[in-house]
Amino acid sequence: MTGVVPLCVMEEKRLETELADGLPVQVRPLGPDTRDGLAEGYRRLSPDSRYQRFWVRTGELIGERMLDRLLEVDPGDHAIWAVLDPARDFPGVGAASWWRSEKDPDEAEFSCTVLDEDQRRGVGSLLLAVCWLDAMSHGVRKFVGYTMPENVGAVRWMRDTGAEAEWDGYKVIFRWDLEDLDTIPPAGPGIALAERLAEFSGEML
């Protein structure tokens, strides 16, 4: 698929900001009408990034059931947000989602993927902050994220944004305490996260 792909039409929730290097970006929630855009973003990921996020080695096509699950509108229990660069033919830069746990309604699972060429520009921290505030506004108090131990970038990113790690013998389980901003390290992506939380805390809710 080439050309302009509409990634989101939910204009009312659009946030405008810049990355640290000055690139203007928008942050928007995704919905069923952004199916083609999300599938195209998946296609553009490297095989390693796809595997790190979805834990299976697939081709360039995302499964229809995964798209259904990601884009399901379930207010208060699930949301998916994207960072977009409107100046590009394909505007998708990264996306992140949260799902409330059925067992513990205080907790939600958080997942994030940034296109390979845009990693380490602060996009993951921006998406974490937006999901953090969005989930908190629905009563979520903890995020849990899972990563493979060999995914050094994600392990470091989760730790450096203040999540506590636990090893279950197979995967690394990270937990962020959304109510305690003192757990966010005052360095690297921790600073970026804290700045984004301050930037959007009045704007999101």
Residues that bind ligand COA (CB under 6 A): 49, 52-53, 111-114, 119-125, 145, 147, 151-154, 156-157, 160, 188-189, 192
Angle between helical axes of 35-44 and 64-71 (0-180°, round to 10) = 120
Give the count of beta carbons closer than 10 Å to the beta carbon of residue 121. 19
Provide, rounded to whole angstroms, the least separation between the CB of residue 39 and ligand COA: 17
- Cβ closest to ligand COA, residue 46 vs residue 137: 46
CA distance 105 to 135: 11
CB 127 → ligand COA: shortest distance, Å?
A: 8
Q: Nearest to ligand COA by Cβ — which residue? A: 124
Nearer to ligand COA, 4 or 24 (CB): 24
Least Cβ distance, residue 72 to ligand COA (angstroms): 18
Q: Which two tokens stand for residue 23?
A: 């690139």
Q: Which is nearer to ligand COA, 82 or 112 (CB)?
A: 112
34/151 with CB nearer ligand COA: 151
End-to-end alpha carbon distance in the chain: 35
| List of long-range contacts for 147-155, beta carbons under 8 Å, 24+ apart | 147/52, 147/171, 147/172, 147/174, 148/52, 148/55, 148/172, 151/52, 153/52, 153/119, 154/52
Residue 76 C-alpha from the chain's centroid? 16
Which of 95, 136 has the CB closer to ligand COA?
95
Instruction: Work out how close the CB of 32 gets to ligand COA at its nearest, in angstroms, rounded to a whole number.
Output: 22
Q: Please, what is the minimum distance in Å from the beta carbon of residue 12 to ligand COA?
A: 26
Unique residue bearing structure tokens 């229990």: 77
